A and B are shown apart, each in its own frame.
Chain A
Amino acid sequence: MGAKMVDFNGWDMPVEYPSSIGCGVVAEHLAVRTGVGIFDVSHMGDIRLAGREALAAVQHISMNDASRLAIGQAQYSALLYAQGTFVDDVIVHRLGDDEYLLVINAGTREKDFNWVRDNTEQFDCKVRNLSDDFTQIAIQGPRGVDELEKLTDADLGAVKFYWVTHGTVCGLSNILIARTGYTAEDGFEIYIPSDEPTSARVWYEILAAGKEFGAVPCGLGARNTLRLEGKLPLYGHEISDTINVWQAGLDRFCKMEKPDFIGRSALEKAKAEGVKSTLVGLEMVDRGIARDQYRVLDDQGREIGYVTSGSPAPFLKKNIALAYLRPEYAAIGSTVKVEIRGQGVRAQVVPTPFYKRPKKAA
């Protein structure tokens, strides 16, 4: 489709599609906020845990409480090292009585699978890497539901946010349809067989069906700006093997009261000690764009943190960033400086997420 490609963890991925077909990061971003955008996210990994002790295994390796999941429900969670830092963030789907699907990041697929396998050996449960079996396509945006309804017999209205169903999609039976995404917008992610003819056929059918809703194909560029507006973490940026749950501000997805899990005792200790840096949202006050790894300074020019993700926000039309700051500078309304090409450029700590999708009228 003439997309600009980039090597992303060994995957040839589209950054953006060409302006000649109405695309480009900004156009793709706005399509998702106001209509619908289609993402090829087949680089995402999938790990299936099934067996008598699957729940116990999932509970042991993830920080959210999977025992709260009904069949067909999903939750945001994370896999942690014993130090309370991140192996990866995941979406845990409960597919059956004793069957769970973890959806993981591309860059960490092999690491994640090995880690899950090694840390669940003591449980009566089979762990399978299904990453190469599925192509994942995301249909994101307020019109995503209208578009997907044209292509499936599943009752999408009955699927709430972070729930899944199965149905026929583009003539393929028993397709997993999840109302999830990485755009801070309503939308769906579908999991289709990964063979190339099937993937390509479904991709083009979805694009064609979305025409009337203004659907455009979207690349990694828009995926990044969309998730940034919604403050959704990206591995290697807001979360990593040196950042713990409290620093990342993911407390509400970490259930300390559930049975023991890997990383729990370190997190208990870390909580008692208090955090040395905390994730905040920044909005540029002066002219300038904060970028990943730029230093954050106080008014004396002393380093007080660093930017993890920064970009113009196409929908909000502001220059925003996520940054780790020392807690004493993290109060909403504080003014700090971002060092851009040697100059301290003023920015303000603002509430996050930067963007929240409007609640649908009942």
Chain B
Amino acid sequence: MSYPTDRKYTKEHEWITADGTIGITNHAQDSLGDIVFVELPKAGAELTQGKPFGTVESVKAVSDLYAPVSGTVTAVNDALATAPEQVNKDAHGAWMIKIKVKDPAEVNALLSAADYEKFASEEAGS
């Protein structure tokens, strides 16, 4: 799996673009399995880097979503409420929220696609 280079990644398996669009990685959706439920904050909510901002559930498990950086939610992908399986089908296209990034330096400090890919493959033990 190759990871898009137009965005940054976290060790908690989220991705974020420079304009503040956030989702989870292909590795994350693959580890979770069939995703059946996505719970996201409302527009206007404040995110703090490293703190949970939502929940994603597969058939077998519940996982928190962690804010890659701090910021304010400006848009939410409501389509995921009724079609959470979109995340399985296209994790890097199925965005979850958009935020107004508080400090762009926080984004720049995150993992590059190559570094994340290395991290994810080590975690998967492959």
Query: A and B: real partners?
Result: yes
Q: Give the residue of B31, B34, B57 whose beta carbon is less than 8 angstroms from that of A289.
A: B57
Q: How many residues of A contact B (CB 8 A)?
A: 18
A1-31 CB mask vs B (1 if < 8 Å, else 0) is 0001000000000011001000011100000
Residues of A within 8 A of B33 (CB): 4, 15-16, 24-25, 221
Measured CB to CB, the nearest residue on chain A to B85 is: A26
Residues of A within 8 A of B58 (CB): 25
Interface hits, A23-70 → B, CB 8 Å: 24-26
Interface hits, A214-266 → B, CB 8 Å: 221, 224-225
Residues of A within 8 A of B30 (CB): 19
In the complex, whether B114 has a CB less than 8 A from a CB of chain A is no
In the complex, whether B3 has a CB less than 8 A from a CB of chain A is no
A282-309 CB mask vs B (1 if < 8 Å, else 0) is 0000011101000000000000000000
User: Quick check: B60 and A341 within 8 Å, CB to CB?
Assistant: no
Interface hits, B34-72 → A, CB 8 Å: 34, 36-37, 55, 57-60, 62
Q: Which residues of A line the B interface, CB within 8 A?
A: 4, 15-16, 19, 24-26, 221, 224-225, 287-289, 291, 311-312, 314, 341
- A-B interface, 6 closest residue pairs, ranked by CB to CB distance from nearest: A25-B59, A26-B34, A312-B36, A221-B60, A312-B59, A24-B34
Q: Which residues of B line the A interface, CB within 8 A?
A: 30-31, 33-34, 36-37, 55, 57-60, 62, 81, 88
29 A-B residue pairings within 8 Å (CB atoms): A4-B31, A4-B33, A15-B33, A15-B60, A16-B33, A16-B60, A19-B30, A19-B88, A24-B34, A25-B33, A25-B34, A25-B58, A25-B60, A26-B34, A26-B59, A221-B33, A221-B59, A287-B81, A289-B36, A289-B37, A289-B57, A291-B62, A311-B59, A311-B60, A312-B36, A312-B37, A312-B57, A314-B34, A314-B59
